[in-house]
Amino acid sequence: MKSIEILSPCGGPESVDAALRTGADAVYLGAQRFSARHNAVNFSDEELKAAVRECHRHGVLVYLAFNTLLRDSELEDAAGLLKLACEAGVDGLIIQDMAVYEMARTACPDMPLHASTQMTVHTPCGVDSAVKLGFKRVVVARELSLESIKELCGRDAEIEVFAHGALCMCVSGQCYLSAMIGSRSANRGLCAGACRLPFSAEGKPGESEHALSLKDMSYCRHIKELEDAGVASLKIEGRMKRPEYVAAATDALFSARAGGEPDYGSLRAVFSRSGFTDGYLTAKIGSEMFGAREKEDVWAAAAALPKLQKLYEKPEKRFGLKLTFTAERGEPMRLKAFDGELCAEVIGDVPEEAKTRETSAHEIEAQLVKLGGTVYFSEGAEVNVSGGLAIPLSKINALRREAVSRLDEMRIEKLSRPKSFEVGELSFAFPLPLIRKRPELRVRVERIEQLSRLGLLDEKIIIPLGKEEEYLAAGYAPERAVIALPRFDSDEKNTAEHLGFVKSLGFSAVECGNIGHIELASKLGFELQGGFGLNITNSLAARHYFAAGLETLTLSPELKAGQCSKIACPGRLGAVVYGRLPLMLMRACPIAAQVGCKRCTRRLTDRTGAEFPMLCRRERGYFELLNSRPIWLADRLDDFNLDFGDLIFTDESPERAAQVLKAYRSGAEPQGEFTRGLYYRGVD
C-alpha cells in the first residue's frame, strides 16, 4: 500500500532542493500571479518549467497553487497561466475560485483539480460536492478533529490534511480582517497578518498581548493515526518560509512516517510561535493553543540555520539501481540500468585487446556503483566481460553517467507529459448586466426580537438555523424567510435532521455559504441562495453557481461597488450594504482563552483602541469576530446595479434596527461611526 504523501511548500527554487533532498513525495508552489502566497518568491514561467522537470527527475509530483479569487479583468491572464501549467506538465491545480474550475473543466479536462482549503470544505457533504464537481483531492479545513477527518475519508476523493506549520486564527477562505484593516486580501494572496498584531479581551492591549495568534500546528506524532484514517497527503504550510524551514519540516515528517522520532528541537528552532499545538486534531481547543512569536524564537532560528542547511547538502537517494554490463571481444560494450520500473540501455565502443593487463570484472563493478551526486543507490552490478580486454575506466564512468541520465530523462518524460489545452467554448466576453432598479432590501437578524420594530413591508428575512419556531411564534410567514446555515458545521448529520424538521414547518429557502451547504440543502429540496462566504468576485464564478441551482447570490464584500455592478450573469445578485461584517470565522475563542467564559467581555480591542464585537456560537462550535464599525451605504445604493442589498443586524437593539431600515428606505446620510467597507477603496 502506498505510504501517505509528504507534501512540501516551495516558495522559490532553493526550497525545491530543500524539499527534494529531505524526502518530499510532492511539492506545491505558485507562479508569480494568482497564488495565495503572493509575497513569496514564487516562480517565473521558465523557473516553473525547470522546477517541474527537476521534481519529476526525482519522481516527485508538482501541484500548482492557483488559489486566489479573480476579477473579470484577470480571467484571460488566468487562462494563460492555466495553459502554462498544462505545457509544463504539472500534476494538479490547487484552486479556490470556481472561475478557474470552469476554465479547467472546459479547456483542459484532463488536469487533476484539488479543492483548496480556501473553499472551506469541512463536512461530508462538502467532500461529496467536490467529488461531483470532479475534484480529485480536497484540502480540508485545518480546524478538524481526527474523528471529523475520518468521516471525510473514503468518499471518492483524496483527503489532504495540513500537518505542520502556521495556523490562521480564522477558517481559511473566510477571513476579511486584513482586507478591511489594510485593503490587503487574504483571498487574493496578500494577507498582511493583521491577526498577529496586539489584540486583547481586556481593553487596549499591551505589546505582548496577542489574543488572535495561535501557535503553529504539528501533527508529527499523529501520522500513523492520520494514515489509518485514510488521509492521502500530509501538507506542510510555509511557502513564505526559508529553505531551512522546508528541510526541517519535511525531514521531520519523513522520519515520523518511518516510525522515528522527529527532531522537535530543530523544528521549534527554525520557526515556531512559543511551541506547537495539536489542539484541533485532538479536539482539545483551549488557551494552550495560543502563542505568539517571541524574541527567543527569532534568536533560536538564527542559531539553527547552519545545522539545518546540512540536511539538504546532498541529493537524496530515491531509487535502487541494478546495472548489467556486458563486454565481449569484437562487440560494442553495453550497459543496462534498471530502477525497478524504467530500463535504459547504452552502447559504447568496441573494447580493445589488452597489451599489458586486462581490466577485471571487479574493477568495472567498482566504477559502476559510484552513484554519488545522483538520485540512485546501488542494488548491485552484474559484470559479464571476456578475458584479455582492456577497458579504460573513464569509458565505464561515461557509460554509467549516460545510463543514469537516460533514466532521468525517461522519468521526466513519463511524469511531465503536457496536458492538452483547447480554448474551445471558453470565452470572457460577458454581456453587459441588466440595468436594475435601486436594490431591494433584505433583512438578516441575529435575534428574532430584532424584527419586532421594523415595520416590515415586502423585505425578505434571513434568520439563523434554530430560530424558526421562535420566528413562527412571533407571527411571521415561513415563505418570506431564508434559513442561514451555520458557517462551520461540527455535526452535519444533526443539521440535516434539523433541516428536515424546518421544511415540515413550511420553510423553503436556505442560504449556502460553502459548497457543502449546496449539497446538503439540494438533497432536501430547498431553494438555494448563495451567501457572501462563497466569495464570488467574477462573472464566470457567478454563472457557475447559478448553473448549480442557486437562485440568488450575495457577492464578495471585497469587490468595489463598480465591480459588483459589472458582474454579468442571469439571476439575482446582491451585496452586504449594512452591518458589522464578520471578519473572522473561528473555532477557538480568543476571549475564553484570555479571560474565560465567565468573564466574557464579548469584544476584542486592538492597539488603536478600536473594539471588535464577538458573536458566540459555542453551541455550534464556532465564533465570529465582527468589524469595529458597521458598513453604511443607505445614501449610496444608487451606485450599485444589483437586485438586492442585505442589512445585517448583529448586536443592534430592535429600536436601532428599525432606525437603520427606515434610513435605508429613505437614503439617509450616515450618523455616528461607520465605514464604506471595501466598496470604494477595494483590495490589492
Residue in this structure with the C-alpha cell 520557526, named with its chain if needed:
271
pTM of the model: 0.95
DSSP string, 414-469: HH-PPPP---TT----PPPPP---SPEEEEEESSGGGGTTS--SS-EEEEETT-HH
What pLDDT sits at residue 332? 97
Q: Where are the domains of the chain?
A: 5-167+215-291, 319-415, 437-450+457-574+642-653
- How is residue 492 written as a grid cell? 452535519
Residue in this structure with the C-alpha cell 440535516, named with its chain if needed:
496
- How is residue 41 written as a grid cell? 518568491
Burial of 188 from C-beta contacts in 10 A (0-12 / 13-18 / 19+): buried
What pLDDT sits at residue 39? 64
Angstrom distance (rounded) from CA 112 to CA 135: 7
Give all strands of the β-sheet with 319-327 in edge-to-edge order.
Answer: 343-347, 334-338, 319-327, 376-385
What pLDDT sits at residue 1? 52
Q: State the average pLDDT for the chain.
A: 95
- pLDDT < 50 regions, the chain: none
Angstrom distance (rounded) from CA 175 to CA 444: 20
What pLDDT sits at residue 31? 93
Angstrom distance (rounded) from CA 137 to CA 130: 8
Burial of 476 from C-beta contacts in 10 A (0-12 / 13-18 / 19+): middle
- Residue type at 362 in one-letter notation: H
- How is residue 658 written as a grid cell? 428599525
Superfamily of domain 5-167+215-291: Aldolase class I (3.20.20.70)
Residue 269 three-state SS: helix
What pLDDT sits at residue 38? 64
DSSP string, 378-423: EEEEEEEE-TTEE--HHHHHHHHHHHHHHHHHHHHHHH-PPPP---
Residue in this structure with the C-alpha cell 462551520, named with its chain if needed:
488
CA distances from 174 to 35, 37, 443 (A): 17, 16, 21
**CB-CB neighbours of 637 under 10 Å:** 17
What pLDDT sits at residue 36? 65
Terminal alpha carbon distance of the chain: 45
Angstrom distance (rounded) from CA 46 to CA 16: 14
